[in-house]
Amino acid sequence: MKILDNIEIVDLALKYKDYLIFGDLHLGFEESLVNQGILVPYSQIDQVIKSVNKIIEKAKPKIIIINGDLKDEFGRISQQEWRDSLKFIDSLKEKYKLIFIKGNHDTILEPIARKRDIEIKEKLDIDSISIIHGDAIVKNLKKTVIISHEHPAISFKERPDERFKCFLKGKYKSHNLIVMPSFNPLIEGSDITKEKFLSPYLKDLRNFEIFIVEDKVYNFGKLKEIK
């Protein structure tokens, strides 16, 4: 489904021309669990690689953009994760051009990017689109802005304890704004019906349109209509 002009939702990613954009991957969740004293081993990397490949097959891009937060914020990276992350990047690098957008959690992005000679950008402009992570204000934005960072999700009165990841489309000043959900299957996201967002790009969400991705994309109209 098209979310705007020629920008299309493909599962949890966005496609524009030959570009395929992924939101926060947050690899290394296992490590972050351990650092919080939660000794439940859980490696989601295989799952992430699998779903990334599935989307690539569907979208057939030439260039892949990772929009920030490749790695989760906690602690140093374990040998295993380091290997896994590299494996993941190598698997993409062989066939596609890779571009990283710098996120606020990316302590290891630079060493990895350096090691594999990948471009890191604060902002990537393609035609009339600017892709940024969304944690801080960036100048000289194009007409349409795509951010991730906030992990939007929504719940319904009928099932208050279940969250559905969603894309948001609205306005930031005179720009069109698209917010991507988290790609990581373990991050359910923040509930837009009750949580407040920190991003300087998101103030009042009532007029934002909501797109939920399950077996297909469902346009739920504006947030104020749902409540």
Closer CB to other proteins, residue 6 or residue 36?
A: 36
Residue keyed to tokens 């140093």: 76
Q: State which of positions 51-80 bind other proteins (CB under 8 A).
A: 78, 80
CB of 58 to other proteins, least distance (A): 18
The amino acid at 111: P
**Per-residue binding letters, 143-162, with other proteins (x by CB under 8 A):** -------------xxxxxxx
Q: Rounded to the nearest whole angstrom, what is the least distance from the CB of residue 18 to other proteins in the complex?
A: 31
Count other C-beta atoms under 10 Å from residue 45's C-beta.
19
Using rule CB under 8 A, residue 136 touches other proteins:
no
Q: Does 11 bind other proteins (CB under 8 A)?
A: no
Least distance (Å) between residue 93 CB and other proteins: 26
> What backbone torsions phi and psi does residue 124 show, to the nearest 5 degrees?
-120, 125
Backbone angles phi, psi at 96, to 5 degrees: -130, 160
Binding status of residue 46 toward other proteins by CB under 8 A: no
Contact 107, 81 (CB under 8 A): no
1 makes contact with other proteins (CB under 8 A)? no
Among 8, 11, 17, 33, binds other proteins (CB under 8 A): 33
Reported as half-sphere exposure (CB side, CA atoms, 13 A), residue 201 has a value of 30
Tell me if 39 contacts other proteins by CB under 8 A: yes
| Contact between 82 and other proteins per CB under 8 A | no
Nearer to other proteins, 30 or 106 (CB): 30
Give dist(CA 26, CA 65) in Å, integer: 15
Q: Which of 94, 215 has the CB closer to other proteins?
A: 215
94 makes contact with other proteins (CB under 8 A): no
The whole-angstrom separation of Cα 3 and Cα 7 is 6
Half-sphere exposure of 18 (CA within 13 A, CB side): 6
Q: How far is the CB of 33 from other proteins (least distance, A)?
A: 6
Region near other proteins per CB under 8 A, out of 14-22, 32-40, 54-62, 115-123: 32-40
Residues with Cβ < 8 Å from 208, sequence gap 6 or more? 168, 169, 170, 179, 192, 222, 223
- Parallel, antiparallel, or unpaired: how do β-strands 144-147 and 175-179 relate? parallel
Establish if 50 lies at the interface with other proteins (CB under 8 A): no
The token duo for 82 is: 């380091």
42 contributes a contact to other proteins by CB under 8 A: yes
Which two tokens mark 144?
């349409």
Q: What distance in Å separates the CA atoms of residue 42 and residue 139, rounded to the nearest whole number?
A: 39
Contact residues: other proteins, CB under 8 A: 33-42, 78, 80, 156-162, 164, 186, 188, 193-196, 198, 212, 214-215, 218, 220-221, 225-227
